[in-house]
Structures are given as structure tokens and as C-alpha cells.
Chains A and B, each alone.
Chain A
Amino acid sequence: MSRVRVVARATVVELLRRRTVVALLFLVPLAFYLARHDLVGQSIRLATVGMAWALSTLAAFAGLAGQAIDPRLRLSGFGTFELLAGRVLGLWCLAVPLIAVYSTVILVDQGGLPRWPGVIGGLVLTALIAVPFGLLVAAVLRRPLEAAMLLLVVSGLQVILDPFGLAARFVPFWSVRELGTWTVDGTDGGYVRRALLHAAAVVVLLGGLTVLARVRALRRRPHLRVLEV
């Protein structure tokens, strides 16, 4: 088993043992979805907001839990990138059933959506962004309360900000909203293109910053020379 898979497996196992967290992971998006069930577009958008918050918080706490043992794992021979890649892989594995459940719930509940792939795409983009976003917040803030509050602020902004304003584009999940507009309102393909470009840029940026933060935290200090025997 490769080192990345070992870390991914440990991440999944550890999070699955948090039974209440797993339950909330599935219930938070549902609560958001049902809150505006009367409006198709709003209910789908809020479901993705709920999922973004739940998943990014999960990722942040997984990152924080990992930070305790990461120096030991690094010392045992893991590369920083292997640790991060394993954690990302594990979290994305946990996101798969979430995407499957909510795709099914929304598509069945809102039967006959002509642009249904947009629903699945929006949920996939949410998961792709939420994981590196949560890990970055954990890597930078390094404390659970601060991390949870920042994630809450970002989720709130995502709901409050005018999607056509410039500020909205600086929120990590703007792409999901853009894709949602295409899905529900039947806008042109430019929305999809912008969504995919924004999502790709955000994932690369968040991932890159997370790698930088963790590489710095787990760097081998220059005073130490380890000579292989």
C-alpha cells in the first residue's frame, strides 16, 4: 500500500469514527436545502452552501488533527506532499457518497430539471474546493475555533454577496453559484466556462498555498544533517 493511500485510509477511518460528525455532514446540507425548498434555484444553491461549509469544516478539523502527528510521520519518512495528498484523497473519498446522495435527492425531488448535469457538477465543484479550502484554513490558523469562525464567515458571505459584484468573485465557491445559475436559469455557456475556470484557479491556488504552509511547517531544518548508513 502506498504511503498516500495509508494516510488516506487513516483519514477516512478516523473521520468515520466520529459518528455524530458523519450524521451532521449529511444533515447540514439537507437543512439548508429544505430551508428554501419552495424555490428551485435557492434550494439547490443553499444545499451547496451547506455542503461547502460541512465539508470545509470537516477538512479543517482533519487537517488540525493531522498536525499533531505530522511531525512524527515526517520524521518516520513521509514527505509533506504525501501527507497532504493522502489527507485530500481521504476527504474526497468521503465526499463521494455525499455528492451521490445529494445528486439523487435534488434530481428526484426537483424532477425534470433539463440541465441536471449542472446539479451534479455544482456538488462536485463544491467538494473539490471545500477540501483544500478547509485544509488551508487549518494550516494557516492552526486552531479549531478560529478555523470554524472563518469558515462560517466565508459561507455567510457566499449567501449575502451580490453574485454579479466583483467581491463575490473572491469567495472560493463563486464558481458553484455561477454553475447553479446556468443549471436553473438557462443562461448561456459562458457561465459554465467561467465556473470551471474559476474553480480550477481556486483549487490550484488553495492547494498551492496549503502545500506552501505545510512545507514550511514541516521543513527539515538546515542545522540537521541526516546521513544514511
Chain B
Amino acid sequence: MTGAEDWLAGLVRALHRENVDGWHCDQVLAEVRQHLGESGEDPFAAFGAPEQYARVVAGELAGDGGPPSVSPPLLAVEGVAKSFRRHRVLDGVDLRVAAGEVAAVVGPNGAGKSTLLRICAGLESPDAGRVTVHGGLGYCPQQPALVDLLRADEHFDLVGAGRGMGRAEARRAGAELAARLDWVPDRRPVGELSGGTRQKLNVVLAALGDPAVLLLDEPYQGFDGESFLDFWEQVWHWRDEGRAVVVVTHRPEQLKRVDAVLDLGRQRVGAGERSR
């Protein structure tokens, strides 16, 4: 099976080049291995060249050409406008994110990405427009809103209590979410944690209690490469669970896999920009 192993190694490299990594990559490999094991076929005969098959997989994952979602949105932003000192930052922004969809909000600095998320979270008032959320709302601010002298599990207690969770339940759920970001919370006060780890806690707190809508404002700041991939893997996992996820991002790598891109540099989202 040396030839098959070489082919699989080539497939992994090709999948990474196509931006298919983490959980999805593992799933594809497991399915291919199973097929090859059961059929005894030559991988080239069964799947073709690794690069070719990786392109097919990436296309399927991105849902190229598929129709946009018609399910009712969990998050509906309608005509949101906001100005600061006569400078219009947001001008009639619309965004609809249904269950099982990921929307990316992109745009240059000062385009109003964080302002839009704060408006969606109800922390700031728009000059016009409205936001409707179905179900719970989890918000991960750009700057982690934490209490420096409390430990991570004490933060789980606090946010979990708000979501109606008991202490043990909140700590278990927090630890599980942290593990998916490759982080094991320890007993240090969060003020002693690295920037990236504080940001992981920031993400975990937003997702604690399984809110239906997740608003994530550049949540991967300070993440190393592996953590960055783990984070996006978690985003796809949330999508698979049927959550509506909005991610403010400067990073273009993952845009081809999201369901909608709201470009605040141009302030419009079109069906043509939907990549799924």
C-alpha cells in the first residue's frame, strides 16, 4: 500500500492547497481510506490524481453554483446606518444569515465592521435600521472583555449563569469548547494568559450555552497558525450544527468557504458574492 499512502499524502497536500483542512480534511481522508480498504482499488483508478480529487472535494464543500439559502434568517440586519460626527460609516447595510450559514464581514480599517457587530449585539444604537435575532446571541468583541483577576473557569461560571447553566455544566461546556481550540484552561488568572489564549477564552465565552447566532469580531487575533485553523474548523462545526455565524475578518483565505461576504468597503452583499 506504499503507492496508496503516497497518493493519500499527496491528497492531504492538495487539500491544504485548496483550503480544506482540519476536520474536513480528516473526514475526506477517513472516507477515502475506508473506500480503498473495502474495494482494494488503486487510488488513481478510483479517484484520479490527488490534485484533481482535492479540487472536486473543495468545490463540493464550497457548494459552487448552489442556490443561496432560502431558510428564514436567524439574523436579519435591515437598512442599518450609522454616522460618527457627520462621517457616515454604515449606509443602509443589509445582511441575512440563516441557520447553518457563515457570513464574513470584510472591509478596510474604519469601514464599520466592529460597529456593525456592536449594533447587531445591541450594544450600540444605529441612526436607522433594525436587527432581528431568532434565539440566543453570542458576541465575541474585538478586545476580550474579561476580568483579569478571575480564572477562565470563573468566567465560565459567570457567563454560564447568565445562560441558565449550573456551575458544573458551565465549566464542562467551557472546557469542551476550549479543547476544540486546542486549549486546556488552567488555574491562572486570565490577566496572566497570553494574548492568543485570552482571545480563545473570548471565543469560548461567546459560544458558551450554544447561542443560535454568533457574532465574532476578528476573533483569531494572536492565534498561532494551528489555532487559526482550529478556530475555522470550529466555525464550520457551528455551521454544521445549524448556527448562524458572522465573522469579521481581514483574512482572505477562508472567504471562499463562507456562505456570504458582506464587503463594507462597498457596503453591499449580493447573491453573486455568495460562495455557497
A residues in contact (CB < 8 Å) with B: 1, 3, 6-7, 9-10, 13-14, 17-18, 65-66, 68-69, 71-78, 220-229
Contacts and interface: CB of A to CB of B under 8 A. Distances in A.
A1 B161 contact: yes
Contact of B149 (A18, A221, A227): A18
Contact of B133 (A13, A69, A225): A225
Nearest to A7: B158
Given A17-B149, A75-B121, A224 B133 contact: yes
Given A3-B161, A227-B132, A220 B122 contact: yes
A222 B126 CA distance: 10
Interface stretch (B87-95, B162-170, B229-237): B162-170
A72 B125 contact: no
Nearest to B164: A77
B129 interface: yes
A228 B135 contact: yes
Contacts of B158: 6-7, 10, 69, 73
Given A76-B163, A223-B131, A69 B146 contact: yes
A223 B129 contact: yes
B132 A225 contact: yes
Given A17-B149, A75-B137, A225 B163 contact: no
Interface size class of B (residues with CB under 8 A): 35 or more
Interface string B135-147: 1011101000111
A72 B146 CA distance: 9
A225 to B, nearest CB: 5
A1 B161 CA distance: 8
A13 B190 CA distance: 13
Contacts of A221: 119, 122-125
**Most chain A CB neighbours (cut-off 10 Å) among B123, B126, B137, B189:** B123
B159 A224 contact: no
A9 B132 CA distance: 34
A226 B147 contact: no
Interface in B197-246: 205, 208-209, 212
A226 B133 contact: yes
Contact of B122 (A9, A73, A75, A227): A75
B119 to A, nearest CB: 7
Given A13-B150, A69-B146, 19 more contacts: A6-B161, A7-B158, A13-B149, A14-B150, A69-B147, A72-B141, A72-B159, A72-B205, A73-B162, A75-B139, A76-B208, A221-B122, A221-B125, A223-B130, A224-B131, A225-B130, A227-B132, A227-B134, A229-B135
A6 B153 CA distance: 13
Give the 10 A-B CB pairs with smallest separation, nearest first. A76-B162, A77-B162, A224-B122, A6-B161, A229-B135, A17-B149, A78-B162, A221-B125, A223-B130, A14-B149
